[in-house]
Homo-oligomer: A and B are copies of this chain.
Amino acid sequence: MTLATKSVQNNHQSPLEVLSNLLADDMKAVNACIMDKMHSDVALIPQLASYLISAGGKRLRPLLTIASAKMCGYKGDRAHNLAACVEFIHTATLLHDDVVDDSNIRRGNQSANAVFGNEAAVLVGDFLFSRAFQLMVEDGSLPVLRILSGASAIIAEGEVMQLSSAHNMDTGFDTYLQVITSKTAALFAAACETGAVIADQDEQRCQALHDYGLNLGIAFQIADDVLDYTASQDKLGKSLGDDLRDGKITLPIIYALENATDDERAFWYSIFVNKKIDDETLPRAIKICEAHNSFKKSLETANLYKEKAISSLSLFDDNEIKSIFVDLCDYVIARSS
């Protein structure tokens, strides 16, 4: 274990906080770029965008871009604009997600669509998405444009796939994996790969950082899907049991269904197919998942992706950021246990 990771434990800081502190100057520049580029003379745009962007986001994805570039020895400032662009794509996705899911809470506050209306959330999402592309074009690297426009298309595909497979009890692990890889992990992968590309790394190292991001993203989303059942409302920053209400068959449910009794299967059917949900539903769902070790098994699966993420880093020499990247894998899973 390196000094850096020791200091994490000493200061009771999460690896995410350690990374934020280490890259504080860069993140200040990223934030300045975000604030600058979300400006528009149409007042509702910066109002709505800053409502979400300023409200307690962890900036995990732009941090990944900056950190990846740094780990590869990059010294310039292109990473700032591109990290902002990654955050814009993420924010646009969140805005549209909340409209699609009809969510009312995000990051512990009322969601943007709840405050400003679905119409504004859709359109400001479109604006941020376009602005992200303008930022990439300003940067001028076609390989980066290819990575980030590709990731954007994959995210949208993943979201549609999620919508198509909701309320479908036949959803198995493969479909689930494809959904979370597309809707979540693809942007983690693109964020990391972008850092490697601007640092002029060879194909193998760009791919390695892509793979790190991808597997970290998968572990992150599995943990998120467990948290949707196990977190305390305060900690989650959104409504507990949202996935159940939206009919999303996530990994804990897939595991619970594998060995379900007839009674349990009828219970899941009534939720996911007949959409019957009352105050008793969530506690009973949690109880059944616990009886089947579904949460534990989900986190074990997340751990497999954590291991893949870590092994992708083997190409890189040991250094402070690599060590934090390793810790980050544990952290995204540990949030939920």
Give the chain B neighbours of A153 by CB distance below 8 A. 127, 130-131, 133-134
A157 at the interface (CB under 8 A from B): yes
Residue from A118, A120, A152, A157 having most chain B Cβ neighbours under 10 A? A157
Give the Cβ gap from A74 to chain B, nearest Cβ, in Å: 22
Give the chain B neighbours of A129 by CB distance below 8 A.
126, 129, 152, 156
Q: What sequence of 0s and 1s flags, for each residue 94-111 of chain A, a beta carbon within 8 Å of any chain B beta carbon?
A: 001001100000000000
Closest to A96 in B: B122
Copies in the complex: 2
Q: State in angstroms the CA–CA spacing of A142 and B145 once bound together.
A: 10
State in angstroms the CA–CA spacing of A270 and B118 once bound together.
Answer: 24
Q: Are B159 and A123 in contact (CB under 8 A)?
A: yes
With most chain B CB atoms within 10 A of its CB, the pick from A96, A129, A150 is A129
| Nearest CB in chain B to that of A140: its residue | B142
Cβ-defined contact, A99 with B127, below 8 A? no
- Quote the shortest CB–CB distance from A50 to chain B (angstroms): 14
Report if A146 contacts B (CB, 8 A): yes
Partner of A142, one of B92, B137, B163: B137
Q: Is the CB of B127 within 8 A of A156?
A: yes
Interface string of A71-93 (1 = CB under 8 A from B): 00000000000000000000010
Q: How many residues of A contact B (CB 8 A)?
A: 41
Find out whether the CB atom of A160 lies under 8 angstroms from the CB atom of B130.
Answer: no
Asked whether, in the complex, the Cβ of A150 is within 8 Å of the Cβ of B163, the reply is no
Q: List residues of chain A with CB under 8 Å of any chain B CB.
A: 40-45, 92, 96, 99-100, 118-120, 122-124, 126-127, 129-131, 133-134, 136-137, 140, 142, 145-146, 149-150, 152-153, 155-157, 159-161, 163-164
Chosen A-B contacts, 23 in total, with CB atoms closer than 8 Å, are A43-B164, A44-B163, A92-B126, A96-B126, A100-B118, A100-B119, A119-B163, A122-B122, A123-B156, A124-B160, A126-B129, A126-B152, A126-B155, A126-B156, A127-B156, A127-B157, A129-B129, A130-B153, A133-B149, A134-B149, A134-B153, A137-B146, A137-B149
